[in-house]
């Protein structure tokens, strides 16, 4: 899954793709590099980000989704039902939902749904982060939501532990270490660690543009643990790394 943020303030590509033509070109480029899904977002969910209103979020994502959808599978990265509905009407077939609450929209529209775990909301999620058992709590939450969505009629349900969403670096590492247990729960798993802050922390303060190796390491780890999708900004190197993992796994 290639990341395409049509926002002024996303943590790594904010402001780069606010021009719709440039955004569409970037989406097609990532598809040519091997991304199977382009994840279009119009609201940053980085820690501390301010919410965006519904009309503005639709204005950002809908034209880009409409232009990309004939050529490549598109997901919409949103927490708002109305934005998800408008995105699906424009051609998106997957709702990537960091709030894990929009399964009724996916059920009504007959599209796929990603349930991601987040603690609280982006503005405040990195304050006072505490879990008694991060792995158990996140896994139980995701399985419960996925079961609820399946019962409501969503045919394609993904689960995602939400790396960096209300989690310390240690929490992120534990969730990655135990990813295989989430895979074993039976729903396809996706992981988004690309360029995230904990990689900078681990790599001696590496800035956001200098986290490719760390991002690839997590992608390879996740794929080896059985994750079926990796969300990435740097699509070409990620696809190459995962192709090698696939060849090893198949040998």
Cβ(13)–Cβ(5) below 8 Å: yes
Verify whether residue 196 is a known catalytic residue: yes
Under the binding rule (CB under 6 A), the answer on residue 98 touching ligand HH2 is yes
**Binding segment toward ligand HH2, per CB under 6 A, in 41-49, 84-92, 128-136, 207-215:** 41-49
Q: Are 65 and 78 in contact (CB under 8 A)?
A: no
Instruction: State which residue, 193 or 250, has the beta carbon closest to ligand HH2.
Output: 193
Torsion sign, CA atoms 152, 136, 219, 124 = positive
Distance CA 161, CA 191 (A): 7
Tokens 């943590």 locate to: 11
* Residue of 11, 17, 113, 141 that binds ligand HH2 (CB under 6 A): 11
* Site stretch for ligand HH2 (CB under 6 A), options 9-17, 20-28, 198-206, 240-248: 9-17
Neighbouring residues of 154: CB distance < 8 A, sequence distance ≥ 6: 103, 106, 107, 112, 113
Q: Does 10 bind ligand HH2 (CB under 6 A)?
A: yes
Convert residues 226-245 into a mask of x (bound to ligand HH2 by CB under 6 A) and - (unbound). Answer: -----x--------------
**Measured from the CB atom, is 31 or 95 closer to ligand HH2?**
95
**CB 159, CB 150: distance < 8 Å:** no
The nearest distance, CB 196 to ligand HH2, in angstroms, is 7
For residue 58, count CB atoms less than 10 angstroms from its CB and return exposed for 0-12, middle for 13-18, buried for 19 or more.
buried
**Annotated active-site residue in 60, 195, 196, 211:** 196
Which residue in the block uniquely carries the two structure tokens 């050529």?
Answer: 71
Q: In the chain, where does DSSP find H-type helix?
A: 20-32, 54-68, 81-89, 103-109, 134-151, 169-177, 179-184, 197-202, 212-224, 235-250
114 binds ligand HH2 (CB under 6 A): yes
Restricted to residues 158-197, the positions that interact with ligand HH2 (CB under 6 A) are: 160, 162-163, 190, 192
- Number of chain residues interacting with ligand HH2 (CB under 6 A): 21
Which residues are catalytically annotated? Answer: 196, 231
Binding residues (CB under 6 A) for ligand HH2: these are 3, 5, 7, 10-12, 41, 44-46, 77, 96, 98, 114, 116, 160, 162-163, 190, 192, 231
């Amino acid at each position: 899954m290639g990341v395409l943020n049509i926002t002024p303030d996303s943590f790594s590509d904010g402001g780069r793709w606010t021009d719709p033509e440039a955004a569409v070109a970037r989406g097609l480029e990532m598809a040519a590099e091997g991304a199977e899904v382009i994840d279009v977002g119009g609201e940053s969910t980085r820690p501390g980000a301010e919410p965006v209103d519904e009309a503005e979020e639709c204005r950002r994502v809908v034209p880009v989704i409409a232009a990309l959808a004939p050529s490549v599978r598109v997901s919409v990265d949103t927490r708002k039902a109305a934005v998800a509905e408008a995105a699906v009407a424009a051609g998106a077939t997957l709702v990537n939902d960091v709030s894990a609450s929009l399964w009724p929209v996916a059920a009504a529209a007959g599209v796929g749904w990603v349930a991601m775990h987040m603690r609280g909301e982006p503005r405040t999620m990195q304050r006072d982060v505490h879990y008694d058992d991060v792995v158990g709590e996140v896994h139980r939450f995701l399985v419960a939501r996925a079961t609820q969505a399946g019962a409501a009629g969503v045919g394609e349900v993904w689960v995602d532990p939400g790396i960096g969403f209300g989690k310390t670096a240690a929490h992120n590492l534990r969730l990655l270490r135990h990813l295989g247990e989430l895979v074993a729960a039976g729903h396809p798993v996706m992981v988004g660690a690309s360029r995230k802050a904990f990689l900078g922390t681990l790599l001696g303060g590496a800035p956001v543009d200098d986290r490719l190796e760390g991002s690839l390491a997590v992608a390879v780890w996740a794929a080896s643990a059985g994750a079926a999708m990796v969300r990435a900004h740097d699509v070409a190197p990620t696809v190459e790394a995962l192709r090698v993992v696939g060849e090893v796994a198949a040998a």
